[in-house]
């Protein structure tokens, strides 16, 4: 009987751990702005992937460079020549949890680490969540940040790429299972 109670307790603890909702989202949108040879460079992808823990407000964004299209042939060639490269951000929203119930627009920071080309640097995203609650959608997350290309690949500066890069992303937050 004692073993039976232990097994039941472990099952309930396992269910509680699963209750933390970590959800992926449909493909999001990301835009990157910079310069190449003094001309504006705009690149975008509609294949931004996100994982979000609604309980802890921890988030991960991931996008493969090969999924970007841009107005710059040098960028396009570089992205296709290195299909293994990904831009990855992992961080924590400056909120205790993510609410998908009706709420006014929330503005906050997301502090974390940006990884590109095998190098990792701290990054701070300025973000907002706007409630929409339509169908399976709960909210729209928008964030923007900037970084220095030289932190990740200084050799690109000699190829005419500007050091300052700006990024904007948009992602859909899905309703929780119980909503």
E strand map for 8-57: 22-24, 28-36, 39-53
- pLDDT score of 166: 98
For residue 68 the two structure tokens come to 């970007």
Q: What is the pLDDT of residues 9-50, one digit of tens each?
A: 333 333 333 345 566 666 799 999 999 998 999 999 999 999
Residue 109 within any structural domain of the chain: yes
Has residue 114 got a pLDDT over 90? yes
- pLDDT score of 178: 63
The single-letter DSSP state of residue 71 is: S
- pLDDT score of 4: 37
- pLDDT score of 52: 87
Helix (H) or strand (E) run with residue 81 in it: helix 73-81
Residue 64's domain is classified under what CATH number?
2.40.128.110
Distance CA(135)–CA(150), nearest Å, equals: 43
pLDDT confidence bin for 176, thresholds 50/70/90: low
Residue 1 within any structural domain of the chain: no
Nearest CA to 60 out of 109, 94, 25, 33 is that of 25
- pTM (2 decimals)? 0.81
Residue 16 within any structural domain of the chain: no
- pLDDT score of 18: 39
E strand map for the chain: 22-24, 28-36, 39-53, 58-64, 69-70, 86-93, 106-116, 119-134, 137-148, 164-174
Has residue 100 got a pLDDT over 90? no
The single-letter DSSP state of residue 78 is: H
Residue 10 within any structural domain of the chain: no
- pLDDT score of 97: 82
Distance CA(134)–CA(113), nearest Å, equals: 32
Tell me the chain's radius of gyration from C-alpha atoms: 20
Domain carrying residue 127: 21-174
Q: What is the pLDDT of residues 152-163, one digit of tens each?
A: 999 999 999 999
* Residue 138 CA to its chain's centroid (Å): 17
- pLDDT score of 76: 94
Give the total number of structural domains in the chain: 1
pLDDT confidence bin for 132, thresholds 50/70/90: confident
Distance CA(48)–CA(42), nearest Å, equals: 16
């Amino acid at each position: 009987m004692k073993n039976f109670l232990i097994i039941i307790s472990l099952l309930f603890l396992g269910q509680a751990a699963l209750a933390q909702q970590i959800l992926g989202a449909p493909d999001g949108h990301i835009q990157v702005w910079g310069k190449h040879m003094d001309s504006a460079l705009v690149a975008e992808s509609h294949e931004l992937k996100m994982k979000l823990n609604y309980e802890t407000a921890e988030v991960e964004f991931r996008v493969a460079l090969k999924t970007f299209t841009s107005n710059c042939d040098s960028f396009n060639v570089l992205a296709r020549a290195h299909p293994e490269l990904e831009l990855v951000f992992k961080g924590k929203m400056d909120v205790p949890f993510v609410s998908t119930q009706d709420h006014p627009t929330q503005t906050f920071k997301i502090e974390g680490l940006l990884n590109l080309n095998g190098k990792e640097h701290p990054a701070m995203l300025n973000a907002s969540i706007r409630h929409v609650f339509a169908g399976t959608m709960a909210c729209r997350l928008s964030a923007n940040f900037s970084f220095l290309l030289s932190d990740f690949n200084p050799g690109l500066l000699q190829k005419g790429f500007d050091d300052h890069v700006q990024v904007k992303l948009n992602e859909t937050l899905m309703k929780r299972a119980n909503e």
